[in-house]
Amino acid sequence: MAAQEVVPAPREPEDVLGDVARAVLGPGAHQVVDLLDVLEGVPRTEVDVVRAGDDLLPRLAHENALDRALRLARAALRPGGLLVAAVPELERLRRLRPTAPPPRVSGRGEQRQVTVQLWDWDSDGDSYGLEVVQLVRGRGTWEVATAVSTRHRVLTAEQVADLLADAGFVAVQRLAPAESGHPLPVWVAVAPR
């Protein structure tokens, strides 16, 4: 009997952001909160890590709320704490203005899910509407599980670095997907000691 190849299960992006934080901070228990929680005033004490998922920074930028959000994240962190954020870099796509990336498929069999993104670019290419539709297997067919719509601003790597520095972070670093294991570039910024 031939040995079967073991394929690791895909990791959730939030897990990858946590892995990046642990790699920087070292072993031990670290208090991690999401940037959305910080914006709602949830952490009452300083935390070790504030993380931001894939579309949050571009959405906050479109809402003209990113500067404030980054300052609040900085204030929520203990000295030496980290902001870890995944940020899509779509600067090169603004000329092409594609309507959608490939669908993302997860799970197997009846547990399979498909996530589709639809993009509607502004004429200047600086912003785009984003619709995310998640399909799940129903009774012999596909059903829409969730659908959300937001607007995003295209952020360049230089803009992200400047915004993090302006918010008071130090040792700002951009990790390529090959370095972090996340499908998007991941930014790591340190609260000063």
Distances (CA, A) of 121 to 33, 94, 128, 151, 155: 31, 8, 4, 10, 14
Cα separation, 142 vs 134, in Å, equals 10
pLDDT mean over 169-173: 96
In-domain check, residue 8: no
111 shares its domain with 172? no
pLDDT digits (tens, 9 = 90+) for 41-89: 887 789 999 999 988 999 999 999 999 999 999 999 999 999 999 999 8
Helices then strands, counting H and E runs in the chain, come out as 6, 9
- Asked if 44 contacts 27 with a C-beta cutoff of 8 angstroms, the reply is no
169 shares its domain with 143? no
% of the chain surpassing 90 pLDDT: 69
- Asked if 169 contacts 76 with a C-beta cutoff of 8 angstroms, the reply is no
Paired with 149 in beta bridges are: 131
101 shares its domain with 42? no
In-domain check, residue 17: yes
62 shares its domain with 122? no
Paired with 82 in beta bridges are: 49, 190
Alpha-helix residue ranges (DSSP H) falling in the chain: 13-25, 35-39, 56-62, 66-76, 157-166, 177-180
CATH, residue 102: 3.10.450
pLDDT digits (tens, 9 = 90+) for 88-103: 988 888 888 999 989 9
Which domain does 98 fall in, by range? 91-153
> What confidence tier does 9 reach under pLDDT thresholds 50, 70, 90?
very low
42 shares its domain with 58? yes
105 — phi, psi (to 5°)?
Answer: -110, 135
Cα separation, 96 vs 34, in Å, equals 32
84 shares its domain with 164? yes
The predicted structure's pLDDT at residue 24: 92
What is the separation of C-alpha 30 from the centre of its chain, rounded to a whole number of angstroms?
19
Check whether 11 has a pLDDT greater than 50: no
